[in-house]
Amino acid sequence: MNKKSSAQGPGQDAPTHSVPAPQPLSVSLEANVQEISKRIGESSDVVFRHFTNESLSSSPLAFIYIDGLVNSEMVNQTVLQPLMETVVPKIPDITATDAYNLVKDQMLPIGSVKEGKTLESLLGMLFDGYTLILFNGMTTALAADTAGWEKRSINEPTSQGVIRGPKEGFTENLRTGTAMLRRRLKTSDLRIEEYKIGERTQTGVALVYLEGIASAEVLKEIRRRLNAIQTDSILESNYIEEFIQDGGLTPFPTIQNTERPDALAGGILEGQVGIIIDGTPFALLAPSTFFNFFQSSEDYYQRYDISSFLRLIRYSAFFVSMLLPALYIAVTTFHQEMLPTTLLVSLAAQREGVPFPALAEALLMELTFDVLREAGVRMPRTIGPAISIVGALVLGQSAVQAGLVSAAMVIVVSFTAISNFVIPSLAIANSIRLIRFIMMLIAATLGLFGIMSFLMVLLIHMAGLRSFGVPYLSPVAPMTPRYLKDIFIRVPLWDMTIRPKTNLGKETRRQGKHQKPEPAKKLQKPEGENTP
Amino acid sequence: MNLRKLLNTKLLCSVLCLPLCTSLLSGCWDARELSELGITSGSAYDWEDNQWKATYQIINPSSGSSSMGGSGGGSTSSPPFITFTVKGKTIMEAIQKSNLTSIREMFPSHSRVTVIGDRLAKRGINPLLDIFLRKQDARETVYVFIHSGDAGDVLDQLMQLTKNQGAGIQLMIEQESKLLSYYPGIRMFELAMNLASESGCAAVPELMLTDSKIMDETSETGQTNLPSRLALGRLGVLKGDKMVGWLSQKEAFGLSFLTNTIKSAMIPFASRPQISEQLDSSYMIQKSTTIVQPRWARDHFIMDIHIKGSGVIHEIGSKVDLNNQAALAEMETSIENNILEVVEQSWKSVKKLNADVTGFAVRIHRSDKKRWRSIRQDKNWDTVFQNIEIRPHVHMDIERTGLSSKSFKSIQQD
Amino acid sequence: MNGKIGTTQAAMLVVTTVLPTAIVILPQIIGEYVEQDSVIAIIPPTLAGLGIAFVIGSVIRFSNGAPFLDWIREKSSPVISVLLGLLLLLFYLDTSSTILREFVNFVKDNVLLKTPVAVIATLILLISIYMVRKGIEVMARVNSLVILLFLFFVPLYLSGLWGEMNIHRLLPLFDHSAASLLLASLTPSTWMSEVAVLLFLAPYLRSPQKARLIGYLGLLFVSLMMLFSIITILMVLGPQYIKLTTYPGFSAASIIQIGRFIENLDVLFISYWVMAIYLKFAIFLFATVECFKQTFRVSSSRPFIAALGLVIVMECLYTWKDQAELNLYNKEGRFLVFILFNAILPLAVLLVVKLRRSRHKRKECET
């Protein structure tokens, strides 16, 4: 377990599994360079550079850096130039230690210079874009932070767009991410703890939270789980998510992910803990309850009335997406009495020529839609329109005309599909894609009774679920009425005086009490002014 | 420990999945595809040759909704519904026998009307009520009608302006009770409620054909003036579960006043009763409430019936100045007298039938439970009912007189 | 997994313990005796229920939330505790199986006419076992959600039936003799006495001192709902019609008509009711398991839940095969059994404890 905590101390548990003992540097420069070169396998992108600076020492020094990970200009200007060009008055009998200290203290005009004593730590820094400076006769080496690789510029988030609100999204760079967060939370309470996870990927993982607002228990738990991860690779935030989330076999996500720094900041301000992972623009937020997944950051950028309305729409879309095909099956094969007569007759007329039973028809269409959807994600952008035409025209219209499926079923399936996209979080929207099929099977066997029974199972499951100790259905079950201001509806911002989550943090008040904008206390009206 | 836990949950999951799989394998017991259902829109019951004779009207889905996409569109010349008649010793036997002739299972939940033949009505309809309350898919909210003659004939008749005849009849009776108020439609559960109530009587409207011919071919509905139509007729009176007689439409109208079921009604009246008794004007009641107060007068009950209402003048056939308060008052009295007459006449017929469709028994029970108890013990309600004296008090208000303040006749130069 | 539950949650559990079956079965049983006086007939059972809640609450206060049988063992002897435990276990097994049977019968009568009883019973049992395994905390949460859903159904029910209601159908009041009123209130009292389940929920109460309050709150809400249900049914269907139908509440729901397209809503109400009765059955299963656990002093009840469930489902399938038998039991046998176990037994325990305590005190005073 290689873990490096930058500044903050808490939670530095001892590594739990054995790693080969770190190898200290040898005195000989050449031996060190050889060893490093051997370890890296003489990869072509590693630059070894020997040089001598007579004024420092007679023996040669060496730079090592990885081309592409460093900013070459910076290396030239801040490392190479000072070290190679500066001529200091020659000190007689200069020892290696003197030279080392001289370089370290006077000759590296660069922010972060670290010392490394073992090969492993040096290699780690090398992969982070540091430039290593090795001295002959020293068992420590210097590492100057010259990191600067090609990275994507900040773009609009692609998966979580908003109409009104900040348009910038996280990039793959961890440092950019933390910086974006810092820019939003200019408080000394913001804590950023950094971990390296993954034996081979050494992915940087930053735990970000607000001291005093995030719950200490949750933090402890997250740290424990992060430290317990033993894997060789972390390539995306889902790796972390799956390793640390509760209730391993649940279809429901208990950790949110977001591409938006404002959403992350919002979550952190409400007492959640953010996890930013290097190499992916998706950051994680935990603990998350079921209702968090229906809140979009845009809810707070729009007026409260429309936000509340949209939120109710999202919940209904969730239920429609989960239940509509099942309800259709249940109603048309079990409870035909529930339909208005005219609708029943027209449904019956449509089904006259359809060869399949309702269940088969629904399964067929649902599967078709899932195939189309997957195709839509995978296919090259240039042939996208073709697929849409095929999907809409051929499968929709022609299937009905050919009498394979009834028109009502196409409507049901399309509406189900559209509803699924209303839910702001893809994670929770995906969770019900599979549940939908189970629902359909049960509905075809036991009708509404079956649907209710399965809903009961889901409800029990969700009521028993926890996200880092927070009940998944809180604050509705268990009920905490004062936290309901931001669940089904969103009350005006000035009324949200306390943090709405059931987190366990200390400071719950987030704004003053009487924030409702009102006209200033009425002034005494001057005599006769209001007579027309 | 962890592994055991995991195994446990897995075990539980598989145990949970087991009945699911088996149930899926062994099929869906209660599922019925739409194409297997015969959606019944109306039913008729009659008694013939000592057997139940039931007629069912089943909607033909492929007719009518031809504009729907897919292969649903059938030929428009196929009839919108089909009927078939079955016979059996019991109703259920008859219903089950229907499967001998029908390709579809009967699905009665969407039925709108039930027509009872008068032979059956005279014999007793208890088994019918029982089946409607007992069967899970039978619908208690069907409207009930009596047809004098073969009840099944009514269901064969095609209707214009609607393809679903059952729903059409429902609409007809609902409109009637809303606009005309001769009689309210009675639904199966209301019928059961009335027959089970203290008075044990109910009134069921008659559904009849205006001509002996039955229009049962789709080509025949192509004409504008059908020679034979469905129409609402008299009001059948049931006592116990048997029909005891009819009330004419006018008597039924009076009964509506007695039972407070007037929603809106038209009263023809003589606008100047001193000059001519001829009914030359119309008054529309827009609101009417009836309060019945029973009172014991030594040896019989007196029912004080307060009818209070308001409405507008719709038609005037004489020279009358509507701005004249005295003329209006005179007209109001004329209207009131008309209503009084209707009520008295109706009461006379009801008394003759000796069937308490007025619900007086319920009123008496509610207001005088002690006396009601003794009546029930002596089982002499019929004689008590015969001795009831009614004292109707009518008060009608003319609220508005329409858009013209004078009658057209009064401005004509003569 | 078994956390503690708060006072409101516990009161809600009491509501679900009594209400789901009461609201469908009782109106007809009461109506048969006293017709439109059913409204009044609710009051004596409520008082009886409150009395029982008082007794149960006092017992819990004395034991301060300790498991009932353990507490008895401590106070008296293990023999009495085991004997009592066995009797109670029998009682709860029996009651659970009748609830399951009622549930199954209802589902079979109303929605799934051809589905085999065994399938329905097994499905219900499995789901309830799942719930019980998740623990009382989860049950309480689900329960509060289901009760919240109720708020959605009441307006639908009321608005749909508004036009059909006739307040005069409630008249005349006090038409029936006191004897028939008493007779009518016997059966509802047995339902109210189900509040005794609290004895086995006691170890999970966050504040066992408030057990009385929990009982009162729950029962008052139950009788309020019963009143609401009976009044609406009477106003819609009239006193005579109620006697005819087995499930008057759903009969009333089935005549709801909103506009020309929302009709036949009984299935909707039945679906909601199904959720409530799942909870009721789960609560009784939980009590059974808890009783078993305390009687035989097993540390973890988890392995036994399924076995107890099997016993219940067997009893449900074979003992109560005949609906007439169940009706007879509901009408006649039930009262004795329930009053014995739910009222007299705790009352006896309470009296013994009080007597001992006062004797103890007297001794203390004497010395």
For residue B79, what pLDDT is reported?
A: 84
Same domain, A250 and A327: no
Cβ–Cβ below 8 Å for C9 and A478: yes
Same domain, A330 and A453: yes
The strand pairing partners of B307, in sequence order, are: B290, B394
Residue in C134, C142, C267 nearest the CB of A448: C267
**Domain-embedded: residue A4:** no
DSSP state of B104: S
Question: Could you give the CA distance from residue A351 to residue B61 in angstroms, rounded to a whole number?
Answer: 9
A406 touches chain B (CB under 8 A): yes
Nearest residue of B to residue C168 by CA position?
B366
Rounded to the nearest angstrom, the minimum Cα separation between B285 and chain A is 33
User: Which residues does chain A have within 8 Å of residue B28's beta carbon, measured at their own beta carbons?
Assistant: 333, 444-446
B71 touches chain A (CB under 8 A): yes
- pLDDT tens profile B143-186: 999 998 888 888 888 888 888 888 889 989 999 888 888 888 89
**Domain-embedded: residue C136:** yes
Same domain, A261 and A320: no
Structural tokens at position A224:
């424990």
For residue B17, what pLDDT is reported?
A: 63
Read off the pLDDT band of B28 (50, 70, 90).
low
B136 touches chain A (CB under 8 A): no
Cβ–Cβ below 8 Å for A463 and C1: no
Identify how many contiguous H helices and E strands chain C contains and give both numbers: 16, 0
Same domain, A212 and A100: no
Rounded to the nearest angstrom, the minimum Cα separation between C132 and chain A is 10
The strand pairing partners of B400, in sequence order, are: B312
For residue A368, what pLDDT is reported?
A: 86
Residue in A347, A349, A400 nearest the CB of B62: A349
Range of the domain at C162: 7-361
**Domain-embedded: residue C347:** yes
- pLDDT tens profile B233-273: 899 999 988 899 999 998 999 999 998 889 899 889 888 88
- Residue A482 makes CB contacts below 8 A (sequence gap 6+) with A498
Q: Which of the listed ranges B341-350, C27-36, C72-81 does the model predict with the highest average pLDDT?
A: B341-350
| pLDDT under 50: residue ranges of chain A | 1-18, 528-532
For residue B5, what pLDDT is reported?
A: 57
A473 touches chain C (CB under 8 A): yes
Residue in A341, A403, A444 nearest the CB of B167: A341
Neighbours, chain B (3 or more CB pairs < 8 A): A, C
Same domain, A71 and A188: no
Q: What are phi and psi of B297, to 5 degrees?
A: -120, 85
Residue at a domain's end among A107, A129, A145: A145
Neighbours, chain C (3 or more CB pairs < 8 A): A, B
Interface test with B, best of C40, C174, C244 (most B CBs within 10 A): C244
Hey, how many other C-beta atoms are within 10 angstroms of the C-beta on C227? Answer: 15
- pLDDT tens profile A415-438: 998 999 898 888 888 888 889 998
Question: Could you give the CA distance from residue C322 to residue C205 in angstroms, rounded to a whole number?
Answer: 38
Same domain, A194 and A335: no
Residues 108-127 of B with CB under 8 A from A: 109-110, 112
Same domain, A314 and A394: yes
Ranges in chain B annotated CATH 3.30.300.210: 264-413
Cβ–Cβ below 8 Å for A446 and C144: no
Same domain, A137 and A181: no
Contact (CB, 8 A) for A458 and A465: no
Cβ–Cβ below 8 Å for C8 and A446: no
Is residue B66 scored above 80 in pLDDT?
no
What contacts 24+ positions apart, CB below 8 Å, involve A238-242? A238/A282, A239/A198, A240/A197, A240/A205, A240/A275, A240/A277, A240/A284, A241/A284
Same domain, A340 and A466: yes
- Residue B159 makes CB contacts below 8 A (sequence gap 6+) with B165, B168, B169, B221, B230
**Domain-embedded: residue A89:** yes
Angle subtended by helix axes A358-378 and A426-464, to nearest 10: 130
**Domain-embedded: residue A514:** no
> b/e for B125-160, b at 16 or more Cβ within 10 A?
beebbebbbeeebbbbbbbbbbbbebbbbbbbbbbe
B20 touches chain A (CB under 8 A): yes
Q: Which of the listed ranges B71-80, B206-215, C137-146 does the model predict with the highest average pLDDT?
A: C137-146
User: Which residues does chain A have within 8 Å of residue C107's beta carbon, measured at their own beta carbons?
Assistant: 449
Structural tokens at position A178:
């933390």
Same domain, A331 and A282: no
Read off the pLDDT band of B414 (50, 70, 90).
low
CATH number belonging to the domain at B264-413, selected among 3.40.250.10, 3.30.300.210, 3.90.79.10, 1.10.645.10: 3.30.300.210
Range of the domain at A87: 29-145
Specify the range with the lowest mean pLDDT, choosing from B78-87, B217-226, B247-256. B217-226
Residue at a domain's end among A438, A471, A504: A471
Nearest Cα neighbor of A33 from A134, A176, A158 is A134
Structural tokens at position A272:
């959640």
Question: Which secondary structure element, helix H or strand E, spans residue A426, and what is its range?
Answer: helix A426-464
Is residue C28 scored above 80 in pLDDT?
yes
Same domain, A328 and A435: yes
Nearest Cα neighbor of B71 from A409, A392, A351, A362 is A351
A335 touches chain C (CB under 8 A): yes
Domain count, chain A: 3
Q: Which residue has 């590594």 as its token pair?
A: A15
Domain count, chain C: 1
**Domain-embedded: residue C62:** yes
CATH (domain of C83): 1.20.1740.10
For residue A16, what pLDDT is reported?
A: 44
**Average pLDDT, stretch B55-76?**
61
DSSP state of A138: -
B377 touches chain C (CB under 8 A): no
B366 touches chain C (CB under 8 A): yes
> What SS3 state is found at B43?
strand
Residue in C127, C140, C141 nearest the CB of A456: C127
What is the Cα B210 distance to its own chain's centre? 18
Angle subtended by helix axes A237-244 and A216-228, to nearest 10: 110
Read off the pLDDT band of B24 (50, 70, 90).
low
Read off the pLDDT band of B22 (50, 70, 90).
low
> ω before A478 within 30° of 0 (cis)?
yes
Is residue B346 scored above 50 in pLDDT?
yes
Read off the pLDDT band of C367 (50, 70, 90).
low
